[in-house]
Amino acid sequence: MRYHRIPDETVRRLPIYLRGLLFSKDLGQQSISSRDLANFVGVNSAQIRKDFSYFGDFGTRGVGYRIEKLTKQIKRILKLDVIQKAALVGVGNLGSAILAYPGFKMYGFEIAAAFDNNPRKVGRKINNIVIENVSDLPALKKRRINLAIIAVPRDAAQQVASALVKAGIKGILKFSPCYIVVPKNVKVITIDIAMDLARLPYYMPAG
């Protein structure tokens, strides 16, 4: 089921809540108040209550939200209740860091393939993933991989994105700081490290 009425901004925060809930569960908690969750994830509790109201979880007075139930609910909404396979394109420094990143499993992600255009890298194994040649991207279509992570230099990003779209990829997470054009039914999310850094100085004391 797709929850059509959930605003993008709420969807953006759901993984933040999910992370907070998974951490709380690891700490042995079974329930959490919206105030505690707010402190934990850095979103105010009124916003949390409003976001959760979109899918009808209002918590229980005096008990708060049941972590197990809410975790399942958010995972279902985000379609993370099944294992989501992703392909990585670009195994330079950033790509290698992504392959070694321990945080994907928590959300049910599996990096199932990695591609590079450097013949010296093709065939090498990083974290049990054999690096394939980018010319083999079209074969992704048969492998039930719907997501891709682009970690190639800026100049190559559009070309790689177009190849991924042709190979049936429906969602792209991209690190290259540039705009790319894809069909409307393909969702692109950009991580621009500098853009995130750009929010920091605002909060710093003058001087």
Task: Give the per-residue contact string, 39-68, with a second copy (x = CB under 8 A; - = no).
Answer: -x----------------------------
Name the residue among 16, 104, 6 with its Cα closest to residue 57: 6
Q: Residue 157: what residue type?
A: A
What string marks each residue from 134 to 173 as x (binds a second copy by CB under 8 A) or -? ------------xx-x----x---------------xxxx
Distance CA 92, CA 84 (A): 23
Q: How far is CA 206 from the centre of its chain?
A: 34
193 binds a second copy (CB under 8 A): yes
Residue 128 near a second copy by CB under 8 A? no
Three-class SS of 41-89: HCCCHHHHHHHHHCCCCCCECCCEEEHHHHHHHHHHHCCCCCCEEEEEE
In the bound state with a second copy, the residue whose beta carbon lies nearer, of 63 and 191, is 191
Radius of gyration of the chain (CA): 19
Tokens coding 122: 């093709």
Q: Is 187 in the site for a second copy (CB under 8 A)?
A: yes
User: How far, CA to CA in Å, does 98 sit from each of 9, 18, 150, 173, 175?
Assistant: 25, 21, 10, 12, 11
Q: Contact between 4 and a second copy (CB under 8 A)?
A: no
CB 88 within 8 A of CB 114: yes
Instruction: In angstroms, give the least distance from the CB of 137 to a second copy.
Output: 18
Asked whether position 73 contacts a second copy by CB under 8 A, the answer is no
- Minimum CB–partner distance for residue 145 and a second copy (Å): 12
Q: Is 28 in the site for a second copy (CB under 8 A)?
A: no
Q: How far is the CB of 181 from a second copy (least distance, A)?
A: 12
Residues of this chain that interact with a second copy (CB under 8 A) are 2, 9, 11-12, 14-16, 18-19, 23, 40, 77-80, 84, 86, 92-94, 96-98, 100-104, 106-107, 109, 146-147, 149, 154, 170-173, 177, 179, 185, 187, 189, 191-206
